[in-house]
């Protein structure tokens, strides 16, 4: 099963993608996580990506597309994957369709996690990310057992550089201009599914499972 997660920054794509990956035994491929790992490891790609990410801009398509398409060649992608943060522009979506068409495959579902802009700033300012394993929490909606410490690996939690309110505003603008058009793109293909992302995380997941079966 090949699934695309769509939605505004902070809508809960990553939270739900992790659960989908676990339930359906497919890998969770997050371009944001890949870039953050590259930044942490000080790679050339990480250095380039950081200049865009810190401003809330998208990383150029040329740095993203091959990275994701190459990832599909790994053996764990044999039964599909859940894409989180990709595609994010029409050219990325077209490149994905072309790459899949070339091997006689296609995307099965695009799931849009709908959360209005008013709720987003609140979500982002409370989000905390682990410096060790990248796990994501929320100080109110998904707290850790010990404040500031990751439940999974014991490392400390930080506020992401791009989660500061001024950057979040720009990310929302970029989302509306460059990524929201993908909702129409996948609706035309007949694979677009909408879920309400404002309810609690378990309810959002239940709605997704109803769609995926």
Q: Are 63 and 164 in contact (CB under 8 A)?
A: no
Structure tokens at 15: 């939270």
Give the nearer residue to ligand AP5 in terms of CB position, either 75 or 177.
177
Whether 88 is catalytic? yes
Whether 160 is catalytic? yes
* End-to-end CA, the chain: 11
Question: What is the sign, positive or negative, of the torsion defined by CA atoms of 143, 151, 6, 89?
Answer: positive
Verify binding: residue 24, ligand AP5, rule CB under 6 A.
no
Q: How far is CA 140 from CA 76, 80, 154, 210, in A?
A: 34, 33, 19, 27
Contact pick of 11, 93, 110, 111 for ligand AP5 (by CB under 6 A): 11
Q: Is the peptide bond before 49 cis (omega within 30 degrees of 0)?
A: no
Tell me the C-alpha distance between 186 and 153, whole Å: 37
* Listed ranges 32-40, 110-118, 130-138, 181-189: which one lies at the site for Zn ion (CB under 5 A): 130-138
Whether 19 is catalytic? no
Q: How far is the CB of 126 from Zn ion (least distance, A)?
A: 17
Structure tokens at 81: 């994957």
The residue among 113, 87, 111 whose CA lies nearest residue 100 is 87
Verify binding: residue 64, ligand AP5, rule CB under 6 A.
yes
Whether 171 is catalytic? yes
Question: Among all residues, whose Cβ is closest to ligand AP5?
Answer: 32
Question: Which residues sit at the interface with Zn ion, rule CB under 5 A?
Answer: 130, 132-133, 135, 150, 152-153, 155
Residues in contact with ligand AP5 by CB under 6 A are 7, 9-15, 31-32, 35, 52-53, 56-59, 64, 85-86, 88, 92, 123, 126-127, 136-138, 141-142, 162, 171, 197, 200-201, 204
- Which residues are annotated as catalytic? 13, 88, 127, 160, 171
């Amino acid at each position: 099963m090949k699934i695309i997660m769509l939605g505004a920054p902070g809508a809960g794509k990553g939270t739900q993608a992790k659960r989908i990956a676990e339930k359906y035994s497919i890998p969770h491929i997050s371009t944001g996580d890949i870039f953050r790992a590259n930044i942490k490891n000080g790679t050339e790609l990480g250095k380039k990506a950081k200049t865009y990410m810190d401003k809330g801009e998208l990383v150029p398509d040329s740095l993203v597309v091959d990275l994701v398409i190459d990832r599909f060649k790994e053996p764990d992608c044999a039964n599909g994957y859940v894409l989180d943060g990709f595609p994010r522009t029409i050219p990325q979506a077209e490149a994905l369709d072309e790459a899949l068409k070339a091997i006689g495959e296609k995307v099965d579902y695009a799931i849009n996690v709908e959360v209005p802009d008013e709720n987003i700033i609140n979500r982002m300012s409370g989000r905390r990310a682990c410096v060790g394993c990248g796990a994501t929490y929320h100080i109110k909606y998904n707290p850790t057992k010990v404040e500031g410490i990751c439940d999974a690996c014991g490392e400390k939690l930080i506020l992401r550089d791009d989660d500061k309110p001024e950057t979040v505003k720009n990310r929302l603008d970029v989302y509306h201009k460059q990524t929201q058009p993908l909702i129409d793109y996948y609706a035309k293909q007949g694979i677009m599914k909408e879920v309400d992302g404002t309810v609690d995380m378990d309810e959002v997941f239940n709605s997704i499972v109803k769609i995926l079966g």
